[in-house]
Chain A
Amino acid sequence: MILDASDLNALFITFKLAFITTTILLVLGTPLAWWLSRTSCRYKFLIEAVVALPLVLPPTVIGFYLLIALGEGGVIGSLSQFLGLGSLAFTFTGLVIGSVFYSLPFVVQPLQSAFVFIDQKILDAASTLRASKYDQFLTIIFPLAKPGFLTAAILGFAHTLGEFGVVLMIGGNIAGETQVASVAIYEHVESLQYAQAHTLSLILLLFSFVTLALIYAFNRRFMVGKI
């Protein structure tokens, strides 16, 4: 195994990015997914399409638009300038914003499908048992949708780990700041350092396989337990 300091750093940044992104997505994605699962708004399909866009768009397209948005004069860029944060392009914060868009469907969709299966009458019952909306979320919705939350968290995390195109477009490749593992692998291959590329690739491969295996094992156990 050959892992030098910059490889370790890239791995660390990758996991940090995935962790922060997943946390933000769970916080923002839960109300969005809940709204999508309950609303009878006729424009719901538009929001659903926007959420699903990252599934089909080339990451470079997302990256390109985000780069423009983050830059000076862009929507996010103007805001960050106004707040005195400077430009967010080629920073870790910029990476987080990009990842949140990029992994959005992987968190929102499992949550939405889990929420759809929660009968409104169960929540009605809870409210007649003196549970407020917030109480209902903690004691009914969350436990019943737990497999959905787990799937959402793991998919969001794993998908962010595998990010490449978006990161390259908006994060550049600044070692120790915005260089993530997938980009580091690309660099190693470009400079014919196959051994280092192997090590990093294997780590990502094993991690992704183990997490996916865990989801399926958990969901199976949950289904069996329910019957």
Chain B
Amino acid sequence: MSICIKLALSKKSLNLDVDIDIKDSLVSAILGESGSGKTTLLRVVAGIERVDDATLYVDAQCWQDDKTFLAPHRRPVGYVFQDSMLFEHLSVGQNIEYALKRVGTAKRYIDIDEMLQILKIDHLLQRRPHTLSGGEKQRVAIARALATNPQILLLDEPLSALNVELKDQTLNYLSYICNTFGIQMLYVTHSFREAAAIAEQVLYLQNGRVNLAKDLNALSIDLSKVKAQEHFSIIPTKLKSELREHGLCELEFDGGIFTVDNHLAHNRVNLLIRAEDVSISLEHPLHTSVLNIFKVVVIKIESNGSRALIQLQINKTILLSSITTLSLQRLSLREDMEVFIEIKALSIST
């Protein structure tokens, strides 16, 4: 499956010049600040926004060029809007049926009952949309989009109306669904955290241009400089082995092996490591409960008031650690020093 998008657009506050070819990836995130044009990009793929100067090929099939414009209702996409956009005059079940009955039986490959169970909405079918909670609405919207049995699922900030707990839960559902049904997703978000949690590759939209961020680790370090409230590093890993008897698993990355909770045991996982959870010692710690200990090199120190943000490198991977400036002084940390870091297994998530 490949999606090839070329478009040039200049509106009042938006200049887009995009030329991307998305392939070999089940989930691609389109990351960008609000107003960067990422929603427009998604709407052009769905055909609900018509940009004259655009070319769009999906699997070598032309959806739009100078001569062709495939009507939106003929494009095999599912679209999940930011604010669910359920039909208020229909029940939940009828909303899903609306999509399902417009798709020929030959094109159906998703088991609807199974999908409703995965999304935990099979008990809501009789309800009216306005009686649902925000999380339920969004899950119904996902189910309705999937009921079209799409080739591509387009998601426009689908979790922005949800609280953190529901976000994680719904992200898990989405990951599970795309793996179960092998469906390709384009996931638009302004949150790098969400992008890293779900996507295999991230397209970073900046100043109207899209860059394919091949290296999520490097992007996480770059973005950490920009945004000050939260610091974390993303580390792409592959599953090495499961330690079922301990409820743990081993994930391999460029620089070593992480031992983490077994619920993270997927083939490819982007681990999220918060800077606060990484502690530094000068010698290899002895007699510690911490499972993840690595020898690293200090490559950069930035201090800001009582806190210091330290970049640490192991092979090509960079991690962030946030410590107090008091500790920084006590350890006399300098750049190019070799130190050890400790990361608790249970503090690592996606």
- Contacts A124-B48, A139-B98 given; does A131 touch B85 at CB 8 Å: no
Which chain A residues lie closer than 8 Å to B144 at the CB level? 129
Scoring B residues 267 to 311 as 1 if CB is less than 8 Å from chain A, else 0, what string do you get?
000000000000000000000000000000000000000000000
A122 within 8 A of B: yes
- Contacts A122-B85, A122-B87, A143-B89 given; does A129 touch B48 at CB 8 Å: no
B48 touches A130 (CB 8 A): no
Number of interface residues of A (CB under 8 A): 18
Contact of A144 (CB < 8 Å), options: B43, B79, B89: B89
A140 touches B87 (CB 8 A): yes
A130 touches B99 (CB 8 A): yes
Contact of B85 (CB < 8 Å), options: A121, A132, A135: A121
A131 touches B73 (CB 8 A): yes
Which chain A residues lie closer than 8 Å to B73 at the CB level? 127-132, 135
- In the docked arrangement, what's the CA distance between A131 and B144, Å? 13
- Contacts A121-B81, A139-B98 given; does A128 touch B148 at CB 8 Å: yes
| B60-77 CB contacts (< 8 Å) to partner A | 71-75, 77
A125 within 8 A of B: yes
A125 touches B81 (CB 8 A): yes
B208 within 8 A of A: no
Q: Distance (Å) between the CB of B64 and the closest chain A CB?
A: 15
Which chain A residues lie closer than 8 Å to B75 at the CB level? 128
Which chain B residues lie closer than 8 Å to A129 at the CB level? 73, 98-99, 102, 144-145, 148
- In the docked arrangement, what's the CA distance between A47 and B235, Å? 61
Report the nearest A residue to B79, measured CB to CB.
A128
B85 touches A130 (CB 8 A): no
- In the docked arrangement, what's the CA distance between A126 and B148, Å? 11
Q: Distance (Å) between the CB of B115 and the closest chain A CB?
A: 15
Contact of B145 (CB < 8 Å), options: A128, A131, A139, A226: A128
Which chain A residues lie closer than 8 Å to B20 at the CB level? none
B195 within 8 A of A: no
- In the docked arrangement, what's the CA distance between A54 and B7, Å? 48
Report the nearest A residue to B46, measured CB to CB.
A128
B78 within 8 A of A: yes
| A137-182 CB contacts (< 8 Å) to partner B | 139-140, 143-144
Q: Distance (Å) between the CB of B276 and the closest chain A CB?
A: 40
B103 within 8 A of A: yes
Q: Give A residues with C-beta under 8 Å from B.
A: 119, 121-122, 124-132, 135, 139-140, 143-144, 226
Q: A126-B98, A128-B154, A130-B73 are in contact. List 17 more A-B contacts (CB 8 A).
A: A119-B85, A121-B81, A124-B72, A124-B81, A125-B85, A125-B87, A126-B87, A127-B48, A128-B46, A128-B78, A128-B148, A129-B99, A129-B102, A135-B73, A135-B102, A143-B89, A226-B130
A-B contact pairs, 19 of them (CB 8 A): A122-B85, A124-B46, A124-B79, A125-B81, A126-B98, A127-B47, A127-B71, A127-B73, A128-B77, A128-B78, A128-B79, A128-B148, A129-B148, A130-B99, A130-B103, A131-B98, A140-B87, A143-B89, A144-B88
